[in-house]
Structure 1
């Protein structure tokens, strides 16, 4: 510990690409080494930001926590002295994005601790800033070289004379052979040679398609597969989401897609093996291909309807969970002495908890609508303030080049903040998101909610009743509550498992 660092606080940005080679340190490994170093220096680590995904300019998936980091810096919510990274490339491999992060940290007085540099770097210091900028340029160049290698590999696989070869993870239902070769740059890599159906898994894939065609729900198939101990590539039961993705893969009929175009593949249909069957009857390749295309029509229709039984009927069904077993709460109906009882939410797992539906819906609706109304007003008020500040700076007449640069940077910062606020306003006003249905015609939140289709209400409820927004809603048993009242039986829990009060966050 040093006197220079003993009172400092830091927040980590932990990121790892989806790395199948195992050469990258996982977020947990990064944190472990950060924590050890921080303890030696006497630095206190706060709540980290964490993403899994590429930071290169070729990446298509957004990094939610990186965007949250930028927003927290802009809005003075970062709350620490240092931003801690495993290496500079963990922050960003896009030079422009990296410079934005440096500028924000410089403006807010936030310094960097880069684990691989083993020291604190201050973006306000010319030498440190030069080091960080060079890191950004090097990271983007390395990203470019990786992209070129991957592109060459994909092109080689697509143009294979026996049909497009597999690239990436072998699909569930198949097994694959590899050979070790050298690529164009001389690196030793594993290249797929043959891909063929893996009998037990292939039988499960065939069953999945035939059962979807027969009208079985994904949830029913998931429960059945789980009871039989069927697991996916990660050793976990096949979830509804995973199986829905599987049901769309043209790989199962011996094809591959590239940029929206289907190509003949080098591997056979998943049903192309001796003994392929469903429900005791043989299944031919031609029959499976026919079922595959019928399932695509079913899934496409299901996307429009969202519910095979005629659409969602309850806005909050599945939006809260049992506090005992974590199972979702779903609507149930009972009779007592031959008379119908009020509908209630009941734990969908073991039936641990049960709570009055009408009273629960009323409370959840009240909290959500209060949050939505306040959120929009806050965003719009901040927009007015930022726009007025921008107009004032744009009207300035700087007397020196230094003053002009300072004003230019403030204008750039305000423009970025306004852009972020406008994005937030768009999500709360007319647009394609589920929230648009709520605010399409003004600020009368209650009327807009009542006029919104149940499917959209359900989407909004699941977005807002989440750990990082209002909190996950957990239903306690009566015996674990202060009273039988709905207010006492609902727990609101954040992402760290701590109880929170909705609307106070």
Structure 2
């Protein structure tokens, strides 16, 4: 409509090759023809889209393959009504569905890996080598902005990256943060936090409940309501079951989450010397695990009492916990 109105205002005619003639948007009959063709095209596009989405949803429910075959996989076909039809491969956005082919790994291992690669703090790209182990852990207490390293007058400082609200000696902060990190890593009880049998049993129950909810969803989605009231009840039930499935998926991931700290750092020998020899990317991963509200607290840099950098690091650093 906008295009047709603009053409009318500017005296532009539209030539339709398949009709073999030019249309004048200022002419009522020509205008109606253009609008009818536009409406027909939009309607046909909507019908194609609806049919395609129905097919995609059906494939998702049945765990059937669709789309480009990922690297490392071979697509299998079978002949149906004289046509080659793919029967194995299944991927659908951020959703995980039960596939119709044998799995490559166990469901527990899948959730373990997903928990690692979907970690919000995990960075998949970098502009260069990582050289500072604590920068991503700290936050400006004034504006909640990130903290970066600044080199000024041959002195290293941690500075608020957003508004330069705070500045503090990097050497003093590193000494404080390193002491807290090493003290925590040296505790034997930290590494005893493996999944106990009770959690493994709960994981199996959770996965079983998830399979049951998914089966109920599939049955309801395939149902054909006879009345409008029945359709509304089914729609509400599907909405509730989808929420339950999402909650169970989150619970399963949490129950199957491995003790990542044990895989990153072993407390054997001199902990301080081992920490100093640990590569910076690994140090940063450990720091991301420890300096959270649920463990050692989220580090926040406060302004100095009389200026931006006049107090000691221990007085200007706040480690905010869940109980704060």
The TM-score normalised by the length of structure 1 is 0.28
TM-score using structure 2 length: 0.42
The structure whose RCO (Cα within 8 Å, separation 6+) is larger is 2
